């Protein structure tokens, strides 16, 4: 089968954890904690953007629920406007804003570090949750642009003072926060509450990999960090109502930043034995086929959200807020139209920050909560999508 990019082949395997109640539970018990994996007769659970298998398996009862109880965010001081970009590339404020909805973005400067902003965002989440750093059991750092090649989750853990926590990094580009959020809930559920408090941080500094002479990409990206505190709770209070995750490497060519190095031709020493010369490795600037990525997003994201809503037993009319990865306002509008969600229920801060990759969802969430839009008990449909290609969605309830 084909999709907008021809991205999903018949051999694509889609693995999905389920949080569905078995048939012997009443409708009112649908949030009880269950995990199962649904698969077709050949072991492949459907394909093509989240098509569900017609064959169901009896779920396993396991674990606890989880809920979001705190959030925070942090952005660099340096603001770059569309007019600023017009001084270095052939563009204008009108050209950028009409095509993307972006007017400003923040970028790292001076001695600022990505891990520093991640720490600040996490502190905000801890403060809102009224939790001490020593009470955190796990720190999940979602980033594709760490300060260190080997990741910076442990540095964030150290600087926060989370001395009792384990820490690791997740690399999934603009889908990173969704992957981290769902991972956090699975740690809580699978360990029966062995993990009580988990910090999920989305942070990226894509300005490090932008070609500032390419108006097709330099206008899009900014730097930021956002964080949430996910806490174990009774299954009746479970705040993750449904989710859906996918990846397909066939679309990698449409959005990437490849490793590159010096010429690797062999040289020989005096006795003729081959030697490899020293190589200075780096990554290319971000390469993106904007039209194809747009087509991918407007096709895949609504279907993923619909699959997550089906799992949650909800319809799009039940959603209080739609919060998508902040990539392009035209994508946000297209998805909300497809799902028939009115514009006054759509959260967007893209104009002020641009595409901040893994930070975009928690950054917008934090602003909406602190600004009084999102209230306790509200249901939020959220989705991330980007390089990999990866995409996924989650239906969550704010504490």
Tokens of 302: 């609504």
Burial class, 31, CB count within 10 angstroms (exposed 0-12 / middle 13-18 / buried 19+): buried
Position 266 scores a pLDDT of 55
Question: Rounded to whole angstroms, how far apart are CA atoms 307 and 45?
Answer: 13
Position 54 scores a pLDDT of 34
Q: Would you list the DSSP string of 127-162?
A: HHHT--GGG--EEEEE-SS-SSTT-SHHHHHHHHT-
Position 192 scores a pLDDT of 85
Position 48 scores a pLDDT of 37
Query: What would the mean pLDDT of 15-19 be, rounded to a whole number?
Result: 41
List beta partners, residue 273. none
355 is catalytic: yes
Predicted TM-score (pTM) of the model is 0.82
Q: Which of 197, 325, 328, 349 is catalytic?
A: 325
Position 32 scores a pLDDT of 36
Q: Which of 177-191, 220-234, 240-254, 267-281 has the lowest mean pLDDT?
A: 267-281
Is a pLDDT exceeding 60 seen at residue 331? yes
The CATH class of the 64-249+288-398 domain is: alpha beta
Q: Which of 36, 162, 174, 233 is catalytic?
A: 174
Position 59 scores a pLDDT of 43
Q: Which of 354, 202, 383 is nearest to 296 (CA)?
A: 383
Position 262 scores a pLDDT of 59
- 202 vs 68, 235, 293, CA distance in Å? 15, 26, 21
142 is catalytic: no
Is a pLDDT exceeding 90 seen at residue 258? no
Tens digit of each residue's pLDDT (9 = 90 or more) over 208-217: 999 999 999 9
Identify the residue with better confidence: 88 or 260: 88
Q: Which of 8-12, 301-305, 314-318, 343-347 has the lowest mean pLDDT?
A: 8-12
Is a pLDDT exceeding 90 seen at residue 261? no
Q: Which of 354, 346, 363, 392 is nearest to 182 (CA)?
A: 392
Query: What would the mean pLDDT of 101-112 be, rounded to a whole number?
Result: 97
Question: Per this entry, what is the length of the chain?
Answer: 399
- 320 DSSP assignment: S
Nearest-10 Cα torsion for 234, 70, 107, 149: -40
Q: Which of 3, 82, 197, 355 is catalytic?
A: 355
Query: What would the mean pLDDT of 177-205 be, rounded to a whole number?
Result: 95
Position 102 scores a pLDDT of 98
Mean pLDDT, the chain, as a whole number?
85
328 is catalytic: no
Position 140 scores a pLDDT of 98
Q: Which of 142, 135, 44 is nearest to 360 (CA)?
A: 142
Is a pLDDT exceeding 80 seen at residue 270? no
Question: Rounded to whole angstroms, how far apart are CA atoms 74 and 366?
Answer: 10
């Amino acid at each position: 089968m084909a999709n907008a990019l021809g991205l999903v082949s018949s051999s694509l395997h889609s693995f999905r954890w389920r949080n569905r109640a078995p048939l012997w539970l009443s409708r009112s018990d649908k949030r009880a904690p269950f995990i199962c994996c649904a698969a077709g007769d050949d072991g492949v659970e459907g394909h093509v953007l989240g098509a569900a298998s017609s064959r169901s398996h009896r779920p396993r009862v396991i674990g606890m629920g989880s809920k979001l109880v705190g959030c925070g965010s942090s952005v660099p001081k340096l603001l770059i406007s569309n007019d600023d970009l017009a001084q270095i590339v052939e563009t204008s404020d009108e050209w950028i804003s009409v095509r993307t909805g972006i007017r400003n973005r923040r970028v790292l400067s001076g001695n600022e570090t990505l891990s520093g902003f991640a720490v600040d965002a996490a502190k905000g989440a801890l403060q809102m949750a009224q939790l001490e750093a020593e009470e955190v059991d796990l720190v999940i750092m979602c980033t594709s642009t760490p300060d260190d090649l080997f990741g910076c989750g442990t540095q964030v853990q150290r600087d926060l003072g989370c001395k009792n926590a384990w820490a690791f990094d997740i690399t999934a580009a603009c889908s990173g926060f969704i992957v981290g959020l769902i991972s956090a809930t699975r740690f809580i559920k699978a360990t029966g509450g062995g993990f009580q408090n988990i910090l999920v941080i989305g942070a990226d500094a894509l300005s490090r990999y932008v070609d500032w002479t390419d108006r097709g990409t330099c206008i899009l990206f900014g730097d930021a960090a956002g964080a949430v505190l996910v806490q174990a709770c009774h299954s009746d209070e479970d705040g993750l109502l449904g989710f859906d995750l996918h990846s397909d490497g066939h679309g990698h060519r449409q959005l990437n930043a490849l490793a590159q190095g010096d010429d690797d031709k062999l040289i020989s020493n005096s006795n003729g034995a081959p030697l490899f010369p020293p190589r200075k490795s780096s990554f290319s600037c971000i390469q993106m086929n904007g039209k194809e990525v747009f087509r991918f997003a407007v096709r895949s994201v609504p279907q993923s959200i619909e699959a997550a809503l089906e799992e949650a037993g909800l319809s799009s009319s039940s959603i209080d807020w739609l919060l998508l990865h902040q990539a392009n306002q035209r994508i946000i509008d297209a998805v909300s139209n497809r799902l028939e969600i009115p514009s006054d229920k759509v959260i967007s801060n893209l104009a002020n920050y641009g595409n901040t990759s893994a930070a975009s969802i928690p950054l917008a969430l934090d602003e909406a909560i602190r600004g009084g839009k999102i209230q306790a008990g509200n249901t939020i449909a959220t989705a991330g999508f980007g390089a990999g290609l990866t995409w996924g969605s989650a239906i969550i309830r704010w504490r």
